[in-house]
C-alpha cells in the first residue's frame, strides 16, 4: 500500500532547594483521575462548528475521533480507519474502517457517518473552519459499510493530515444538533459535567472498543486564565498538568522543583501582528512594511515570552515541511520604517488601535510592540478585549487596525487565499500559488509551492510575523504521556497515566 503518511511525517531565577519546602506537597492524586489546566474556556464542544482551539483541547481524541490521528511527532496514523490507499494520481483515497465501533449513544459507526460528516462540513450553512478542504472533495462513496472512498477534484497531497484535524471528526446524524452542549462521539470519554466559567469533566466510557487500555477514568479541565493564578494552582497541587502554560516567567521556579516536570517544545502557533489590509493607511504596502521594520522580534520574545519561542518571517513554523527562514527580510530598522512612512505620505504621529485578546502572549507582546511602534511615529492605542469581543469585532466584524493572535492550526497558510478573512488580504498571485500547493503531486512540489507562498505574503507584508508559539507543559513529575511538541492542540487522555 502506498503510504502518503510517510510523506506527511516529513510534513512533518532558579530556586534554592529549600524553596520547595515553603509550599505544600502536591496532593496525592487518585491513580485514575487527573486535573488539567487550560487558559481558555471553549464557547462550545463541537470542533466541527467552532474556530476556538480550546474545543479540540477537550474533545479531540477524547470524545470525538476522526479517520486519522496526528501524533505528537507529526506523523499520521490510523484511528477510525484501519488502513487506506491512494490512487497513483492522489485524487482517490480509499479507507477501510474499523468494525464494531459505536457512538456513545449506541449507534453503530459506518461509512454513512463519514459521508454525512463531510457533506455537513461543506454545506452552505457550515461554519467548519476547514470548509475549503471539504469543498475539494468531488464525491464520497459510502456504498459499503466498512469502506469509504473520497474522490478529490485535484491531487490531495495533504488529505490525511487534514482528516486528522478536529474539524474532520466523525459525528452521528442523530445527535449532531446538540453536539455543542452534549457531544456524542466514538472516543473513550463522555461528557460528565460542564460548570460554565469553571471546568469541564469527562468520564471514561466503558463502551469504548479499547476501554481496558484507558488508565484515566476521570479528567477535569479547569479554566485558569490568569497566569499568576495558574502558577499558584500548580504549586498548591490543585492542577496536575498545565499544557501551554502561560506564565513563562515562572518556568525556572518549576524547573528547579523536583515535584514537577517541565517540557518545552514547539507548536504550530504562528504568532502574528495582524494588520487590516483594507483600512487606510494600512492598505499601503509601504505602511505595512514600515510596521515590519519597526518591530524587533528578539525584544518581543525576550520581553513577552521570557526568551521562549522561535522568530518567524512568514506564516509557517520551523517544524513545517518547506519552511523558509524569512526573518531577515524585515530586520529591525527604525530609520527605514520612518522613511517608508514618509514616502507613503503619512503624517506622524499615526494613530492606530491595537486590539488584544486575553492570552498572556498577546497582552505582553502588545506592550512591547506598542513601544517599538512609538519609536517610529506610530501611536498604537492598546484596547484589551475579551474573546467574545475579539471574535465579533476583529474576526467577524473586521473592525480593527492591528491585533495580535497565534494561528495554531497546522499548515493553514491557505487562509491567505480567502479575501474575506479578517485581515482582508486580496491577492490573485497568492491564490494561484495556493492552487499549486493544493495540487502538489509529491513532497518536492509541495515544498516548492509552499516556499513561494511564504515569500509572497512576506513580500506583501500582509501581517508582521513574530514568533512560533512554544508548547510549555508544567506537570506533576509522576504523570506520564504528555506531549512535548504540539502539532495540534489536544490533550490525549488515552495516552496519560500515573507512575
State yes or no: pLDDT of 343 exceeds 50.
Answer: yes
Domain harbouring 124, CATH code: 3.90.76.10
Total-model pTM: 0.81
DSSP secondary structure code for residue 341 in this structure: H
Which domain range does residue 276 map to? 269-469
Give a yes or no: residue 368 inside a domain: yes
Distance from C-alpha of 309 to C-alpha of 265, rounded to nearest angstrom: 9
Summarised one tens digit per residue, pLDDT across range 224-241 is 999 999 999 999 999 999
Give a yes or no: residue 366 inside a domain: yes
State yes or no: pLDDT of 3 exceeds 50.
Answer: no
What is the tally of structural domains in the chain?
A: 2
Percent of the chain with pLDDT over 90: 86
160 close to 5: Cβ distance less than 8 angstroms: yes
Are 171 and 275 members of one domain? no
Give a yes or no: residue 313 inside a domain: yes
Are 452 and 491 members of one domain? no
C-alpha cell at 59: 474533545
Give a yes or no: residue 55 inside a domain: yes
Q: How far apart are the first and last CA of the chain?
A: 38
Confidence at residue 494, expressed as pLDDT on a 0 to 100 scale: 96
Summarised one tens digit per residue, pLDDT across range 68-87 is 999 988 889 999 999 999 99
The gap from C-alpha 387 to its chain's centroid, in whole angstroms, comes to 16
Are 325 and 390 members of one domain? yes
State yes or no: pLDDT of 319 exceeds 90.
Answer: no
Distance from C-alpha of 350 to C-alpha of 484, rounded to nearest angstrom: 42
CA-to-CA separations, 43 to 194, 200, 393, in angstroms, rounded: 11, 12, 16
Amino acid at each position: 500500500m502506498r503510504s502518503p503518511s510517510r510523506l506527511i511525517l516529513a510534513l512533518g531565577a532558579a530556586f534554592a532547594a529549600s524553596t520547595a519546602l515553603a509550599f505544600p506537597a502536591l496532593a496525592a492524586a487518585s491513580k485514575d483521575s487527573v486535573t488539567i489546566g487550560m487558559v481558555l474556556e471553549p464557547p462550545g464542544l463541537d470542533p466541527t462548528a467552532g474556530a476556538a482551539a480550546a474545543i479540540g483541547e477537550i474533545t479531540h481524541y477524547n470524545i470525538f475521533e476522526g479517520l486519522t490521528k496526528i501524533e505528537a511527532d507529526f506523523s499520521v496514523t490510523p484511528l477510525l480507519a484501519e488502513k487506506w490507499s491512494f490512487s497513483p494520481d492522489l485524487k482517490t483515497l480509499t479507507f477501510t474502517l474499523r468494525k464494531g465501533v459505536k457512538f456513545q449513544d449506541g449507534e453503530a459507526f459506518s461509512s454513512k457517518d463519514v459521508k454525512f460528516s463531510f457533506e455537513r462540513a461543506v454545506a452552505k450553512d457550515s461554519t467548519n473552519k476547514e470548509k475549503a478542504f471539504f469543498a475539494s472533495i468531488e464525491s464520497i462513496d459510502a456504498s459499503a459499510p466498512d469502506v469509504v472512498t473520497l474522490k478529490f477534484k485535484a491531487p490531495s497531497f495533504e488529505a490525511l493530515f487534514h482528516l486528522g484535524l478536529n474539524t474532520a471528526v466523525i459525528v452521528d446524524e442523530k445527535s449532531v444538533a446538540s453536539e455543542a452542549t452534549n457531544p456524542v462521539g466514538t472516543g473513550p470519554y463522555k461528557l460528565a459535567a460542564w460548570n460554565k466559567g469553571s471546568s469541564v469533566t469527562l468520564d471514561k466510557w466503558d463502551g469504548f472498543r479499547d476501554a481496558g487500555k484507558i488508565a484515566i477514568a476521570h479528567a477535569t479541565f479547569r479554566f485558569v486564565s490568569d497566569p499568576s493564578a495558574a502558577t499558584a494552582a500548580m504549586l498548591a497541587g490543585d492542577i496536575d498538568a498545565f499544557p501551554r502554560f502561560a506564565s513563562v516567567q515562572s518556568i525556572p521556579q518549576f524547573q528547579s522543583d523536583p515535584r514537577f516536570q517541565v517540557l518545552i517544545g514547539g507548536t504550530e502557533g504562528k504568532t502574528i501582528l495582524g494588520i487590516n489590509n483594507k483600512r487606510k493607511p494600512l492598505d499601503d504596502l509601504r505602511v505595512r512594511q514600515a510596521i515590519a521594520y519597526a518591530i524587533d522580534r528578539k525584544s518581543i520574545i525576550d520581553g513577552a515570552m521570557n526568551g521562549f519561542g522561535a522568530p518567524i518571517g512568514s506564516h509557517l513554523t520551523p517544524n513545517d515541511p518547506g519552511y523558509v527562514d524569512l526573518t531577515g527580510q524585515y530586520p529591525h530598522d527604525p530609520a527605514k520604517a520612518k522613511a517608508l512612512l514618509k514616502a507613503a505620505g503619512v503624517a506622524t504621529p499615526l494613530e492606530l488601535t491595537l486590539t488584544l485578546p486575553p492570552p498572556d502572549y498577546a497582552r505582553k507582546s502588545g506592550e512591547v510592540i506598542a513601544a517599538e511602534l512609538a519609536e517610529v511615529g506610530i501611536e498604537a492605542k492598546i484596547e484589551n478585549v475579551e474573546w467574545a469581543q475579539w471574535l465579533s469585532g476583529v474576526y467577524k466584524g473586521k473592525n480593527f487596525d492591528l491585533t495580535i493572535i497565534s494561528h495554531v492550526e497546522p499548515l493553514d497558510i491557505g487562509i491567505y487565499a480567502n479575501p474575506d478573512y479578517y485581515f482582508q488580504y486580496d491577492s490573485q498571485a497568492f491564490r494561484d500559488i495556493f492552487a499549486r500547493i493544493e495540487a502538489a503531486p509529491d513532497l518536492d512540489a509541495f515544498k516548492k509551492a509552499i516556499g513561494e507562498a511564504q515569500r509572497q505574503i512576506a513580500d506583501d507584508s500582509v501581517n508582521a510575523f513574530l514568533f512560533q508559539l512554544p508548547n510549555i507543559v508544567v506537570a506533576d513529575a509522576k504523570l506520564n504521556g504528555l506531549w512535548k511538541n504540539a502539532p495540534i492542540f489536544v490533550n490525549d487522555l488515552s495516552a496519560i497515566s500515573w507512575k
